[in-house]
Amino acid sequence: MSSHNELAFRAGRWILDGLRTASAPWAASGLTKSVTLSAWFEDWPRPDLTYTDPKTKRSLAVEFKPPGHGKREYVTGLGQCLTYLNSFDYAVLFLPRVAIDGFLIADYIGDTVRAPSLAGVPLGILAYDDEPDDDITVVEVLRERSGVPTGSGATRRRTFWGYWRDLSNHDLLALLLLIDQKGTFEKAWKLFWSRSLSTGKARNWEGNARRPQSSSAHNGWKLNTELSLRHAGLASNDGRLTEAGLALLTLGKIYGADGLAFLDELARCVLAAGRHIELIYWVAELQVKLPAKALKNAEAFLEALDAELIHQGVIKPPKGSSKATYLRDEPKLWNKLGLMRPRAEAQYFHPKIGWVFDWRRISGILAAR
């Protein structure tokens, strides 16, 4: 059976395709052909999939439930969707029609949503038989919403996956130690900057000393580092270590920043909490559809891949971006974590193919928990 991540990706792809081709009779009018995937990296709750419509400014959160569970798991999904409505305009529960004991759970939850106590809640229910992108039943259409959510809504980023720039495994472990000692990222950062980055004692992925950073680079480094920690689920919005951050720190204390256990857990956080696995699935699916001329060299490949991701609604169209392409630092990180099979050192592109992922390692990392 496919993993939860792969099944959720397929469900999300089905939703996105239906919305962008105007073939989603289950959707509310606030979701148009302009919908794209969106980012959401709050501490809690974290939906499986999030979308925004730049035309209507409406947002959608989706909770996907895989097959093979009891009734309790699917009823919990309904509760999760209700919490999403604090921050999103709409919520959809995507679940199997039948629970593991044969109970028609999708129909039961549909009846529950139609009860007077939940009348008017902007919630939809989609059910599948065996596969999340085939034989879909619309149990309850997505209702229109009046008013706006009380929360902050979907994060306004052009990419849905977690940000990661510059931060190495060695610097990450040093920061986790400082946050644990000082309590917050803000306090830890001051020490890390004054003791390491500005003095040339910080280290890159190979363990070599970085050159000293000037004061003009301080704000950029700080923002990049804070976003990396938050998006990977290692630090909370208030700068404190999360449960995942503490778990990674423990592995770092035992095995060190170069230890396989530390790197595996970091990779899991980036893939799952940072939603990089979703991006990897998109890349793997789209690169095989690119024309031959796009697979001649790395530059042509990145340009064509970017264009296809925009066309599919995976990322938003650019607005004055200084970057040549969106995907720039991601393959560097994936390579450092052993998620790719590079052609040569720091050369990720394979002519006529694109990027080659180590699916055995990726699957093993995600299955570890």
* pLDDT confidence tier of residue 263, bands split at 50, 70 and 90: very high
pLDDT exceeds cutoff 60 at 322: no
Check residue 44 and give its pLDDT: 83
Q: What is the pLDDT of residues 203-243, one digit of tens each?
A: 999 999 999 999 999 999 999 999 999 999 999 999 999 99
Name the nearest CA neighbour of 302 among 318, 320, 325: 325
Q: Does domain 4-140 have CATH number 3.40.50?
A: no
Residues 38, 154 contacting (CB under 8 angstroms)? yes
Per-residue model confidence (pLDDT) at position 326: 81
- Identify the residue whose tokens are 């999340």: 132
What are the pLDDT digits (tens) for 115-132? 999 988 999 999 999 888
pLDDT score at 323: 63
Single-letter amino acid, residue 295:
L
Residue 348, pLDDT above cutoff 70: yes
Task: Read off the pLDDT of residues 269-305 as tens digits, 9 standing for 90 and up.
Answer: 999 999 999 999 999 999 999 999 999 999 999 999 9
Specify which residues 15 forms β-bridges with.
Answer: none
Q: Please report which confidence band the pLDDT of residue 40 belongs to, taking 50, 70 and 90 as the band edges.
A: confident
Given a contact cutoff of 8 angstroms between Cβ atoms, the answer to whether 301 and 324 are in contact is: no
> How many whole angstroms from its chain centre is CA 277?
7
Q: Of residues 243 and 2, which shows the higher confidence score? A: 243
Sign for the pseudo-dihedral over CA of 63, 131, 17, 26:
negative
Using the predicted structure, report yes or no on whether residue 369 has a pLDDT greater than 70: no
- Residue pair 16/312 in contact by the 8 Å Cβ criterion: yes
Q: How much is the pLDDT for 43?
A: 80
Helix (H) or strand (E) holding 1: none
Q: In residues, how long is the chain?
A: 369
Question: What is the predicted pLDDT for the residue at 296?
Answer: 95
- Whole-model pTM over 0.95: no
Rounded Cα gap, residues 345 and 336, in angstroms: 10
Residue 156 has pLDDT above 80, yes or no: no
Spatial contact of 67 and 96, defined as CB atoms under 8 Å apart: yes
pLDDT attached to residue 134: 84
- In this predicted structure, the answer to whether residue 22 has a pLDDT above a threshold of 80 is yes
Question: SS3 string of 216-281?
Answer: HHHHHHHHHHHHHHHHCCCECCCCCECHHHHHHHHHHHHHCCCCHHHHHHHHHHHHCCCCHHHHHH
